Structure 1
Amino acid sequence: MSIINPALERPELIAYFLGANNYSWLHFRNGEKKLLSKPISYLEGRLPGFIRVHKTALINPDYVQSLHRPLRQKMAGKIQLQSGETFPVSRRRWNQVAQSLGEHLSPGNNEEPLQESVYLDDARPTSEQSNLGRSVASLFLVTSDEQNAFLARQVITKNWPDYRVETIPKSIHLPELLDDLAQSELPVLVFLDARSDTLERLQTLQRLKNDPRLCRVPVVLLALPTDKSVIEGYERQANSVITMKEGDMAFAQVIDRICQFWLKIAELPAHC
């Protein structure tokens, strides 16, 4: 308790907490972090003014920069901190979070809540215009390269119009995002670009494959062309590992070729 109590006595120094089973990471506003031997539910009880945006994140409302409403129904909004970090807002918690943050944000930053929804990309594929009103299968792409994300969205929208592509720059919250979806809304395929943020991507891969509900979603790992990267990917149960150099100009074409196999040749599991 020597770390926990002094920290909780100065909540103005705290940015947020991230839960990790029976432990929590405490992130200070100055960038430091500490591991606490308490679950996030305990911390939520000790800090009633903090806001639980999803089941693993507890945010200091005074550190929030902006709140962004969901882009679509059955997707989630996002919250941005003063540091520039972003967190998804669980669709089940959206209205409560928006209401709680109303008094902490300026009118220009606080957006009006919409229907329930998971923060993903900031671009809506044009193919969705013809898919409104019916369920659309989705593909998830995790990459920190905005240019690659844009090109991948373009090629998938053009060549695979029956699928919606969702892109996110970080994978750390991906298991929680997917866990918040109904079984029928789970993606048919996940791409994890592990050429950067490698450890984060591998840990996410392992969490997905250790989850009895999410483990059946096929995960393609994009890795650097080294034996170590390939071995680590398969050790964590990637469904396939594709090697590429960083800055590869053919990224979108590789994504398209992977889709050719997984969406046309392979038999994908039914989520219903």
Structure 2
Amino acid sequence: MSDARAGSGQTRQEVDILLVEDNPGDVRLTKEAFTDGAIDNTLHVVTDGKEALNFLHQRDEYADAACPDLVLLDLNLPKKSGEEVLEEIRGDEDLQRLPVIILTSSEAQEDVLRSYELQANAYLTKPVDPDAFLDTIQTFEEFWLRVVRLPPCDRTDGG
């Protein structure tokens, strides 16, 4: 893995992020925010829940996928919902410690509660305003990629 898991307060070298998002506009804004940020990162993008699980388990076209340092997960996804993806991650011994941050447009209290019941590490609501969205991603980056110490990848199937 990368040196992204250096101790708190240390400069991180590179971070692999899996973005699970089906809205092309939100993908574009997220990429823009990370490009403008100070942390070197690789942003892997998948557009549905089934694809996310294939990426995480290195299945099909993702056989050589990197083990991400964290996942940004939308709740409203085709094929498999973000809630189902989170539930599967938390039920998998090799993935259960992977930090998963919900990044969704839903402000519904039941979505917030259910996400935390399924052990999401954080719940971020996407602002509608593009500038506010960029600010949210940059604040996320500052905290999760500069302050937080991330766990090592435990995936035993090559990641």
TM normalised by structure 2 equals 0.74
User: Which structure 2 residues correspond to residues 47-126 of structure 1 after superposition, within 5 A?
Assistant: none
1-structure distance, mates of 2:134, 2:96: 26
1:145 to 15, 23, 30: 23
Give the match for residue 48 of structure 2: 170
Aligned: 1:159 with 2:37: yes
More helix by share: 2
2-structure distance, mates of 1:200, 1:244: 17
Contact residue 14 and residue 39 of structure 2 kept, 8 A:
no
1:197 to 65, 70, 77: 77
2-structure distance, mates of 1:211, 1:139: 19
Letter in 2 for 1:188: D
Structure 1 stretches (4+) deviating beyond 6 angstroms? none
Contact residue 144 and residue 169 of structure 1 kept, 8 A:
yes
1:227 to 109, 125, 134: 109
More strand by share: 1
TM normalised by structure 1 equals 0.45
1:208 to 89, 96, 109: 89
1-structure distance, mates of 2:95, 2:45: 18
1-structure distance, mates of 2:100, 2:129: 20
The secondary structure found in structure 2 opposite 1:172 is: helix
1-structure distance, mates of 2:97, 2:47: 23
Deviation at 1:253, TM superposition (A): 2.2
Q: Which structure exhibits the higher relative contact order, with contacts defined as CA atoms closer than 8 Å and separated by 6 or more residues? A: 2
Over aligned residues, Cα RMSD in angstroms?
A: 2.5
Give the count of matched residue pairs.
Answer: 135
Q: CA deviation digits over 1:70-92, x for unaligned, max 9?
A: xxxxxxxxxxxxxxxxxxxxxxx
Deviation at 1:176, TM superposition (A): 2.3
2-structure distance, mates of 1:151, 1:266: 23
Gaps of 5+ in 1: 1-134
